[in-house]
């Protein structure tokens, strides 16, 4: 079904009496349709994680160059495009994907006479995006909110992206090098498997050339989630937990078992890092092959 909706984002702080520009987008929505832009003339896209479609739309609204977005309901990935289907790219049928594209994109002049703070989207969560622009007479702050567990993924690097992975007879080790860009780095993993489960074990982060382990409880052998945080922003069932099972663990007695059903859940941990220094990130992962499934690993701040 095709719907047309007009969306506004207002979160304005005015320091004196002025006229302020506010962006608006008139968007057309397609369900189970994905926009792809692989032509020579296509601009690059930006991918972020969004709590829901509304958050994805707001991310597009905040990005002044965005004219088309796709939202993957299975893993909360929101992709923002400069181009629109009538210029470049094409639309294809794809389950669980929502595509919205601009019909009209303009700046509205809104006279302001007093200091105002107004928002049409303000759930009780934490900040995901914050952009500030200043001039001699005005200061404008635009804020989008989202769950803490995925807010820090803005600008993160995706290390692993598995979708509908087949069954594995044993654990597979994954290893990556990463150059830190901040003094506190976050390792985030997200999982979904509607039938069967993922098994995760023996996670490690070490500065190259050293033997010091920077993760706490990377093998889960405390039998608890000590050192780790998790969240389930879309209320998936069968979300992950620490499991005791000597047969299915990669080492020790415990591992992370995740059969998140209906949507992804998240597991993450922060570790101390030095800007510009190279780190090795490794972990063991095993999937039972139930469909649909996904496993994603991100590193960022």
81-85, 111-115, 145-149, 199-203: least confident range: 111-115
Separation CA 75–CA 55 (nearest Å) = 14
Per cent of the chain over pLDDT 70 is: 72
Residue 206: CATH number of its domain: 2.60.120
Q: Which residue has the higher pLDDT, 192 or 124?
A: 192
SS3 241: strand
From residue 180, alpha-carbon distances to 1, 52, 196 in Å are 45, 29, 35
Query: Is residue 61 located within the same domain as residue 175?
Result: no
The pTM score is 0.56
Closest CA to 64 of 21, 118, 30, 100: 21
Q: Range of 102's domain?
A: 3-146
Average pLDDT of the residues in 73-86: 85
Q: Which two tokens stand for residue 251?
A: 């080492």
Separation CA 179–CA 121 (nearest Å) = 36
Count how many domains the chain has.
Answer: 2
Q: Which residue has the higher pLDDT, 69 or 9?
A: 69
Query: Is residue 35 located within the same domain as residue 62?
Result: yes
- For position 10, what pLDDT does the model report? 31
Query: Is residue 292 located within the same domain as residue 164?
Result: yes
Q: Is residue 151 part of a domain?
A: no
| 181 φ/ψ sector (left φ>0, alpha ψ -120 to 50, else beta) | alpha
**pLDDT at residue 4 tops 60:** no
Separation CA 107–CA 178 (nearest Å) = 40
Q: Choose one of 101, 122, 146: the last residue of a domain.
A: 146
SS3 164: coil
Query: Is residue 141 located within the same domain as residue 16?
Result: yes
**Residue 217 half-sphere exposure, CB side, CA atoms within 13 Å?**
19
Q: Which residue has the higher pLDDT, 111 or 178?
A: 178
Q: Is residue 152 part of a domain?
A: no
Separation CA 157–CA 140 (nearest Å) = 29
Q: Is residue 133 part of a domain?
A: yes
Query: Is residue 48 located within the same domain as residue 164?
Result: no
- For position 27, what pLDDT does the model report? 78
Query: Is residue 188 located within the same domain as residue 289?
Result: yes
């Amino acid at each position: 079904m095709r719907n047309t909706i007009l969306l506004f984002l207002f979160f304005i702080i005015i320091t004196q009496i002025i006229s302020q520009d506010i962006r608006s987008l008139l968007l057309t929505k397609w369900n189970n349709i994905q926009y792809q832009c692989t032509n020579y003339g296509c601009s690059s896209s930006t991918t972020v994680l969004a709590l829901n479609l509304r958050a994805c739309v707001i991310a597009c609204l905040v990005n002044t160059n965005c004219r088309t977005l796709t939202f993957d309901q299975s893993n909360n990935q929101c992709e923002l495009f400069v181009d629109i289907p009538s210029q470049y790219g094409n639309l294809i049928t794809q389950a669980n994907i929502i595509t919205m594209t601009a019909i009209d994109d303009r700046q509205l002049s809104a006279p302001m006479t007093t200091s105002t703070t107004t928002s049409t989207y303000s759930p009780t969560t934490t900040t995901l995006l914050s952009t500030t622009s200043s001039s001699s007479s005005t200061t404008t702050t635009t804020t989008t909110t989202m769950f803490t567990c995925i807010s820090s993924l803005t600008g993160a690097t995706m290390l692993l992206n598995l979708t509908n992975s087949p069954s594995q007879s044993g654990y597979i080790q994954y290893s990556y090098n990463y150059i830190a860009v901040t003094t506190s780095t976050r390792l985030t993993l997200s999982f979904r498997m509607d039938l069967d489960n993922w098994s995760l074990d023996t996670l490690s982060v070490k500065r190259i050339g050293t033997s010091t382990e920077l993760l706490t409880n990377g093998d889960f052998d405390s039998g608890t989630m000590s050192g780790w945080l998790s969240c389930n922003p879309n209320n998936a069932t069968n979300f992950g937990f620490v499991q005791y099972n000597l047969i299915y663990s990669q080492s020790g007695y415990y591992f992370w078992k995740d059969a998140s059903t209906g949507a992804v859940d998240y597991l993450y941990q922060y570790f101390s890092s030095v800007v510009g220094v190279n780190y090795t990130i490794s972990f063991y992962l095993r999937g039972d092959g139930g469909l649909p499934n996904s496993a994603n690993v991100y590193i960022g701040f």
